[in-house]
Amino acid sequence: MKNFVKFSICLFAFVSIAFTPQPETSNKETVVVIDVSHGGDDFGVQLGTYSEKELVLHIANQIDLLNTNTNLKIHFTRSSDFNATLKQRVEFINDLQPDLVLSLHINENKDENASGAELYISEASKAFVQAEAIAKSLQLQLKTTPINKVHIKKANYFILKNSEAPTVLLQLGYLTNDTDRKLLVDPSVQDHISKSILGFLSEL
Number of domains the chain contains:
1
97-106, pLDDT tens digit by residue?
A: 999 999 999 9
Which residue in 189, 167, 185, 19 sits closest to 93, CA to CA? 167
| Residue 185 covered by a domain | yes
| Residue 1 covered by a domain | no
| Residue 63 covered by a domain | yes
28-69, pLDDT tens digit by residue?
A: 899 999 999 999 999 999 999 999 999 999 999 999 999 999
How far apart (Å, rounded) are the C-alpha atoms in residues 159 and 157?
Answer: 6
- pLDDT at residue 124 above 60? yes
**Alpha helix (H) residue ranges in the chain:** 2-18, 52-66, 86-96, 128-142, 158-162, 178-184, 187-202
152-196, pLDDT tens digit by residue?
A: 999 999 999 999 999 999 999 999 999 999 999 999 999 999 999
Which residue in 147, 68, 58 sits closest to 104, CA to CA? 58
pTM score: 0.86
Could you give the count of Cα atoms lying within 13 Å of 146 in the half-sphere of its Cβ? 18
CATH number of the domain where residue 167 is located: 3.40.630.40
| Residue 14 covered by a domain | no
Confidence of residue 26 (pLDDT cuts 50, 70, 90): low
Range of the domain at 108: 29-202
| Residue 12 covered by a domain | no
| Residue 10 covered by a domain | no
Q: Are 116 and 149 in contact (CB under 8 A)?
A: yes
How far apart (Å, rounded) are the C-alpha atoms in residues 32 and 186?
Answer: 26
Mode of pairing for the β-strands spanning 100-107 and 30-36: parallel
Between the alpha carbon of residue 52 and those of residues 39, 43, 49, 61, 181, the distances in Å are: 9, 6, 10, 14, 11
- pLDDT at residue 113 above 80? yes
3-state secondary structure of 101: strand
3-state secondary structure of 14: helix
| Residue 48 covered by a domain | yes
| Residue 88 covered by a domain | yes
- pLDDT score for 7: 44
- pLDDT at residue 4 above 50? no
Q: Are 166 and 130 in contact (CB under 8 A)?
A: yes
How far apart (Å, rounded) are the C-alpha atoms in residues 29 and 71?
Answer: 4
Helix (H) or strand (E) holding 80: none
- Residue 174 is classified by DSSP as E
Quote the mean pLDDT of the chain: 90
Amino acid at the residue 176: T
- pLDDT score for 19: 43
